[in-house]
Amino acid sequence: MEKKDSRYAMEDSNLWYETYASDQTQHSSEALSSDSDKKFKLIGKHIKRIDGKKIVTGKAPFTQDIKLKGMLIGKILRSPHAKAEVLSIKLDVAKSLSGVKAAILMIRGNIQYAGQMVAAVAAVDEKTADKALELIKVEYKPMPFVVIEEKAREEGSPQVHDKRPNVEQRRGYSRGDVEAGFGKADVVIERTYKTAVEIHQTAETHVSIAKWQGERLTIWDSTQAIHSVRDQLAEVLQIPASRIKVIKQYMGGGFGSKLGLNEQTVAASMLAKETNRPVKVMLTRKANSLCVGNRPSTFQTYKGGVKKDGTITALSLLSHTSGGIRGGDRSSEPMIDVHKCENAKVEDYNIYMNTGPSKPTRAPGLVQGTFGLEGFIEELANEIGMDPLEFRKKNYTTKNRGGTGIPYSSKGLDKAYEIGAKQIGWHKRNKVPGEGKGRIRRGIGMAAGIWWGAGSPGTLADVKLHPDGSVEAVCGTQDIGCGTRTHMAIVTAETLGLEPKDITVKLGNSDYPWAPLSGGSLTTPSVAPALRDAALKAAEHLKGMAASKLKVSASSIVCENFTFQEKGNPKNATPFKEVLGDLSHEIVFHGERKGLPEGYAYNTFGAHFAEVEVDTMTGMIKVIKVVAVHDSGRIINKLTAESQVIGGITQGLSTALFEQRIMDNETGRMVNPNLRDYKIATSMDIPEIVPLFVDSVDPRINILGTKGLGEPPRIPASAVIANSVYNAIGIHIREIPMTPDKVLQALKEKEVAR
């Protein structure tokens, strides 16, 4: 499993997910639908978080808040140059400063982007560490660089990697015969869509604390992936993984940027080793904007053929993407899978440039690809004068690969279309895009989305019972804000007839049973079934113990209301605590999230509908309402699920309207590495949001029928706004963020063309 966890570092930042998904089908298959029609008391209800009190009182220990005895403050020196040879580094003066305990080199080879780590120091306080950084003398020999995609693509532009061209072909895709498909079409159009580089901008900047005790290393890390950090750190430091423990209790946002080992963890570990004291390294907002990842930009050219009756005959995509010095995102997934189409082809290229390396960003590739594809779908529908919802229904498929692959285990997208259209008032939309009059134009649009999210077979979890009647749920997963602690308590309590608050949940420690990183919508469909498995085993054992007390067979006992009772005869009952009291010592039950039956595709789906207003005078877009309908199988906790959907929509709106990294061609630096100039959606931008779920349970995905929900609400959330703007003004803004200048420019062009 370690191998899989480290895949975040692969060139395609989103390839990891698909490789993971296809691997899952190779696991053993067994009937897993035993719980699929169960009526639950807790699962699927609105349950408040069990750790809410800690959060609202400021007591939740985020890594930033942890202070160890004798702890030093570590700081990182970064390159001001986008590309340079490091001729010399002098650490002596810095080391001689009183209060400085260590200064070490952190660079091998040349500088590849502005902000790259060069050296690190540890000192008694922040002020001294900052001072020490200034006393490090680095001699750079600046080299030609390129930080703009269009320039990197030009012939003769400075080469970013020694052994790779700046434009490098990636794995493509092909099925059927697209040329033949275009030949059969009544209409063939081609359109290009662009998306900007986006920065995660997590609330808590990346921070790690390292503490050595002899040969053992403990890391407190703001991470989404305790096991990955452990394994990757072991590789970097060349020590056994068994000697490293990674702890993460609370983390201030990750969105993919904290999916594995980050540089500050390595720096903290090395500085702590050197000084023999605990060291904390916390990145600044600026460093967090430059060095910990980003969502790659994309340039997507779609060509599509359609018959007058709405049949899509062929789709092709030529994609360019830039993840800086690392590879970009694959934006082709929506086109390959979502709508029925026999003939499809993808050509895909990386553009390398001297900017910070990409990392998965909530729904990597799919946010960009859905903006492109779903925008193109609207334009295709408009070409043949068809309602875009009817167009999507016409091309609906229950098999993957556009209807040419294997059946989806479950797909509730059709229901999502139905519910969402009704909720938004689809009939109120402009029948012809832009037909409204006046300065303020209203429009209604939609977009569909697909994601994986089946979870990781092999996930382990324990239920531990104590003779005093207390119960633990233990799993080496992490709660990154989705409410995983509460999910674990809900599943365990549901199974044992208790309340969530009765369960002591333990997570966020790499010494606990293995669970995957918290990314890719993996957590709930991995952890919840594993815990359910463990709790069912515990319940079975306890029923056996209760059977002799109740003088009935174990099979006729149920766990309910803190008791074990005879089914249909609740008076014949014994308290839960009393049964546990008969244990001579603690007892542990191991649960596992089993494999996925072969022959099916396991995906999540969602459809968003939005209403917007466009001010044709100022170019400002105001989102009025968003309705999101998701098929993520059985929802474990409606309350936290709604929050997750609302968050995905807010972030998607932010991507659609505001977010872009701006690079300076002259200096090679990012000009907006802060929260003032890097615009994100704020309180004033939030529309009415209606989060809804298709009431479905996947029949075979796992014993709870639950699928992931982390990525899905983020996926159609930007596309839906662009499509609504199209309906409002009759012009498709094919570039996000749709800033007012772009809207005004598009309106002007339309005026000129008239």
Partner 1 sequence: MNKGKMKKGKTNTFTRRDFLKGFGSGTLGVAITPKLLAQKAESIQTKAGEVPVYAKKQIKFTVNSKAYTKVVEPQETLLDVLRDKLSLTGAKKTCDRGECGGCTVLLDGNPIYSCMYLAIRADGTNIKTIEGMAKEGKLHPLQQAYIDKDAYQCGFCTPGFIMASEALLKKKSNPDLGEIKKGLSGNLCRCGNYTKIYQAVDQAAKAGRS
Amino acid (one-letter) located at 33: S
Contact 302/193 with Cβ under 8 angstroms?
yes
| Residues 285-304 within binding reach of partner 1 (CB under 8 A) | 285
Q: Is 167 in the site for partner 1 (CB under 8 A)?
A: no
Among 208, 459, 518, 654, binds partner 1 (CB under 8 A): 654
* Per-residue buried b or exposed e for 430-462, using 16+ beta carbons within 10 Å of the residue's own CB: beebbebeeeebbbbbbbbbbbbbbbbbbbbbb
Q: Cβ 610 to partner 1, closest distance in Å?
A: 14
List the one residue from 587, 686, 692, 744 that touches partner 1 (CB under 8 A). Answer: 686
Question: From CA 119, how far away is CA 176, in angstroms rounded?
Answer: 53
135 binds partner 1 (CB under 8 A): yes
Q: How far is CA 139 from CA 90, 111, 118, 130, in A?
A: 9, 12, 11, 19
> Footprint of partner 1 on residues 204-223 (CB under 8 A)?
204-205
Q: By CB under 8 A, tell whether 716 contacts partner 1.
A: no
* Contact residue for partner 1 among 332, 650, 660, 723 (CB under 8 A): 650
By CB under 8 A, which span of 240-248, 449-457, 545-553, 669-677 interacts with partner 1?
669-677
Shortest gap between Cβ of 204 and partner 1 (angstroms)? 5
Stretch that binds partner 1, among 130-138, 390-398, 591-599, 692-700 (CB under 8 A): 130-138
Supply the minimum distance, in Å, between the C-beta of residue 155 and partner 1. Answer: 39
Query: How many C-beta atoms surround the C-beta of residue 60 within 10 A?
Result: 16
Mind spelling out the 3-state secondary structure of 552-601?
Answer: CCHHHEEEECCEEEECCEEEEEEEHHHHHHCCCCCEEEEEECCCCCCCCE
Binding residue for partner 1 (CB under 8 A) from 44, 115, 252, 708?
A: 252
Q: How many residues bind partner 1 (CB under 8 A)?
A: 69
Beta bridge partners of 323: 326
Which of 247-255, 375-383, 398-406, 542-550 is the region at the interface with partner 1 (rule: CB under 8 A)? 247-255
State yes or no: residue 742 binds partner 1 (CB under 8 A): no
Q: Mapping DSSP to helix (H, G, I), strand (E, B) and coil, where does residue 121 land? A: strand
End-to-end CA distance of the chain: 59
Which residue do the tokens 């002007």 mark?
A: 748
Q: Which of 682, 695, 748, 749 binds partner 1 (CB under 8 A)?
A: 682
In the numeric block, which tokens belong to residue 35? 């719980």
276: left (phi over 0), alpha (psi -120 to 50) or beta: left
User: Which of 356, 433, 458, 647 forms a contact with partner 1 (CB under 8 A)?
Assistant: 647
Q: How many whole angstroms separate alpha carbon 5 and alpha carbon 16?
A: 9
Q: Which is nearer to partner 1, 97 or 104 (CB)?
A: 97
Q: Give burial (CB, 10 Å; 0-12/13-18/19+) of 87.
A: exposed
Q: How far is the CB of 624 from partner 1 (least distance, A)?
A: 13
E strand segments, 476-543: 503-506
- Positions in 404-463 near partner 1 (CB under 8 A): none
CB 425, min distance to partner 1, A: 20
Is residue 675 near partner 1 by the rule CB under 8 A? yes
With respect to partner 1, which residue has the nearer C-beta, 378 or 642? 642
Task: Report the residue from 209, 271, 419, 482 that binds partner 1 according to the rule CB under 8 A.
Answer: 482
By the 8 A CB rule, do 490 and 43 touch? yes
In terms of Cα–Cα distance, which of 137, 133, 115 is closest to 74?
Answer: 133
Q: Which of 3, 39, 67, 69 binds partner 1 (CB under 8 A)?
A: 67
> Contact residues for partner 1 (CB under 8 A)?
48-49, 52-53, 55-60, 62, 64-65, 67, 93, 96-99, 126-128, 130-131, 133-135, 201-205, 250-253, 255, 282, 284-285, 480-483, 639-640, 642-644, 646-651, 654, 658, 674-676, 679-686, 689
